[in-house]
Structure 1
């Protein structure tokens, strides 16, 4: 008897039923595939809706356009079109098999054989198909693997990795997200063997895999496996502080039930715990893996040794300077080093409910004193603002103007 999915809201939504009906309107088959099937089976929220179809790419585009559905040729040479209806994207891919691979890209041939399409995928749990009625089509025993948390390559692990080296990092990410118990040994062995090929990958894709792994609820086992299997040495050798990461995760686990909207899986925070605390090494990995400027700066700020813990420095001053989220992260990082203080609830509450006070003066106030426009205006304003912060934000506009006049009279 075939397995079935419990119908989820996304499956019965008007946009979904419309796309599926259109794709099958001329005799082609269409089924949901991959993460949306896997996560619905596991009662997890889905991220994307992927559809596999026997219709050829040109036919898919024609069907969508004729039914007033936006069609974006996101990967036409690989048979992928993105349909957008009611602001919901659907990634639609024609069944295919890989006929030539180079470790990064594949030359494909379209097919109408569901088994062939399933067998060219990476992990068994990602090769599950389901139709509109929720009937699951499982060609590689992915159903049982998904329920057991067994992250297993389809067929020979070494062959799958040679087809796409990124699958090494995907294995550890999927173990962090879905793995239960001991990781698949043959998969680990294949990943270890192919690890020296990791530097051939596009750096942005490596970055995406690492950050996604760190967003898992419990990433520590996967990260430590990557260390033990000598994977990190080829993609992020700056990962050094495993104890700090584990302590941070323990703190998060303790606090998250009480602060579910304020303390969430945070890749940047966890990365700052894991990485070397040397600014030069932080910048090196940021440049190599092409981190965004904001992530790079955030990592540097969180390891800034010139800033004491908010516990000592003064919580409100820290909140004013770096904001609520960064102060929260700084608190958690410090607690992961030195232990949870007795007043942690008060500190978190203050950070979560912080409303930034408005500095009473602007550059116009400085210009009104006759100070010529230029760097001096900013320098004077900063001097007064620093004083105002040191006074716990208490001086009002009148007192700040008096401070301004006192500074002007001495310059």
Structure 2
């Protein structure tokens, strides 16, 4: 019998308590989906999903009787979340599709485990485990899972038409769990039906894209998406997987190189915010990195410009900018890249020594004159390699102001 490589979650008191609540009066419960898949593969199990023959209102009633907190998170679609020992456990009644609409399906509840499995996306996600660890594999997905072979359940085109997000999930799962070549039929179906992605919200697309960009085989997935015209469709015509390839060729880079948002900016540029639904912080990070990359290129990657950027934006943003410059080809010498990164991470960024109070005490009045004097002081400070003390800087500013007045 195939055994779970990870089963601490299954033996936990919280999960066993959930089975106690659910398995009454002949009802059967089994863990399902990613919980089982990751357990078989030895991957981390982040959350626990359980399928059950009991109807949602029955689950709610049993939880109430047992003193277990239950949240009707999606009760109309058969989903209730049990909270046991502070752990959320999502419980869904067995379902089968009656009609699909490209995203949401009309479903009916039932007790047929095979029909419940048939409405899922990939064979590796249609695996179930009971409370004792016994595996139930109604569609023959075990070998696919253990071999890390991603395959749609039944007709790939039918599965995709049920929800076009499955196109992006196909590449994300391939990048995360896949080994060997991608499933040819599934890939062909994704390319053929890619225009269906236009029916999806930007939020859903963004979530899948960012998760893919953090996956182990992200480059393989992006190259296949690019070849099929999918990458350009969701990220814009300028998107290029080769940009990420340049980054992944190198080892020993800062942690920022592994972050999906940084990679997204390198692959698709600042204009990607027009195609996805990014947070303000994510958009700003990409835009600032692009600005810094451009400034470094214009300056010829001079150290003095790097210092100015560090003073203006901070070390994290400059590291992003240097990595972005490497991805987009503005920076091509690896030795220079390493030098810039090392300096950005190690240089102790100085603080501007003058304050408005100091200037007023030095005879500079508040208002427009103060603004002009402050700007001049910053220029003098930079030209002196950020070495001037407050007194020296004040003296130079006053001298410059007096010369101008004369």
TM-score range, shorter chain: 0.7 to 0.9
SS at match of 1:112: coil
- Return the alpha-carbon distance in structure 1 between the equivalents of residues 33 and 156 of structure 2: 19
Match of 1:307 in 2: 295
Aligned residues: 398
Deviations 1:321-353 (A, max 9, x none): 333333223333334434453476665455445
Query: Is 1:36–1:48's contact at 8 Å kept on the other side of the alignment?
Result: yes
Match of 2:275 in 1: 288
Q: Which runs of structure 2 are paired with 1:344-383 in the superposition (5 Å)?
A: 347-352=340-345, 356-366=349-359, 380-381=373-374, 383=376
- Return the alpha-carbon distance in structure 1 between the equivalents of residues 373 and 90 of structure 2: 55
Query: Among 266, 273, 279, which residue is 2:266 paired with?
Result: 273
> Relative to structure 2, which stretch is displaced further, 170-179 or 11-20?
11-20
> Relative to structure 2, which stretch is displaced further, 232-241 or 136-145?
232-241
Match of 2:252 in 1: 255
Q: Which runs of structure 2 are paired with 1:179-194 in the superposition (5 Å)?
A: 179-194=178-193
- In structure 2, stretches of 5+ residues that fail to align are none
Bigger Rg, which one? 2
SS at match of 2:182: coil
Match of 1:298 in 2: 285
Q: Check 1:382–1:92 CA distance in 2 against 1; reply closer, same or farther (3 A cut).
A: farther
Match of 1:329 in 2: 320
SS at match of 2:42: coil
Query: Is 1:317–1:392's contact at 8 Å kept on the other side of the alignment?
Result: no
Match of 1:199 in 2: 198
Query: Is 1:232–1:239's contact at 8 Å kept on the other side of the alignment?
Result: no
Q: Check 1:31–1:374 CA distance in 2 against 1; reply closer, same or farther (3 A cut).
A: farther
Report the alpha carbon displacement of residue 14 of structure 1 after superposing the two structures with TM: 3.6
- Return the alpha-carbon distance in structure 1 between the equivalents of residues 368 and 138 of structure 2: 69
> Relative to structure 2, which stretch is displaced further, 207-216 or 29-38?
29-38
> Relative to structure 2, which stretch is displaced further, 360-369 or 84-93?
360-369
- Return the alpha-carbon distance in structure 2 between the equivalents of residues 143 and 166 of structure 1: 24
Query: Is 2:257–2:263's contact at 8 Å kept on the other side of the alignment?
Result: no
- In structure 1, stretches of 5+ residues that fail to align are none
> Relative to structure 2, which stretch is displaced further, 377-386 or 93-102?
377-386
Q: Check 1:110–1:345 CA distance in 2 against 1; reply closer, same or farther (3 A cut).
A: same
Q: Check 1:93–1:185 CA distance in 2 against 1; reply closer, same or farther (3 A cut).
A: same
- Return the alpha-carbon distance in structure 1 between the equivalents of residues 153 and 113 of structure 2: 14
User: What is the CA RMSD across the aligned residues, in angstroms?
Assistant: 3.0
> Relative to structure 2, which stretch is displaced further, 323-332 or 382-391?
382-391
Q: Check 1:63–1:348 CA distance in 2 against 1; reply closer, same or farther (3 A cut).
A: farther
Report the alpha carbon displacement of residue 187 of structure 1 after superposing the two structures with TM: 0.8
Query: Is 2:123–2:139's contact at 8 Å kept on the other side of the alignment?
Result: yes
TM-score where L is the length of structure 2:
0.85
Q: Check 1:233–1:348 CA distance in 2 against 1; reply closer, same or farther (3 A cut).
A: closer
> Relative to structure 2, which stretch is displaced further, 399-408 or 55-64?
399-408
Report the alpha carbon displacement of residue 40 of structure 1 after superposing the two structures with TM: 2.0
- Return the alpha-carbon distance in structure 1 between the equivalents of residues 317 and 16 of structure 2: 43
> Relative to structure 2, which stretch is displaced further, 142-151 or 23-32?
23-32
- Return the alpha-carbon distance in structure 2 between the equivalents of residues 357 and 399 of structure 1: 15
Q: Check 1:216–1:389 CA distance in 2 against 1; reply closer, same or farther (3 A cut).
A: farther
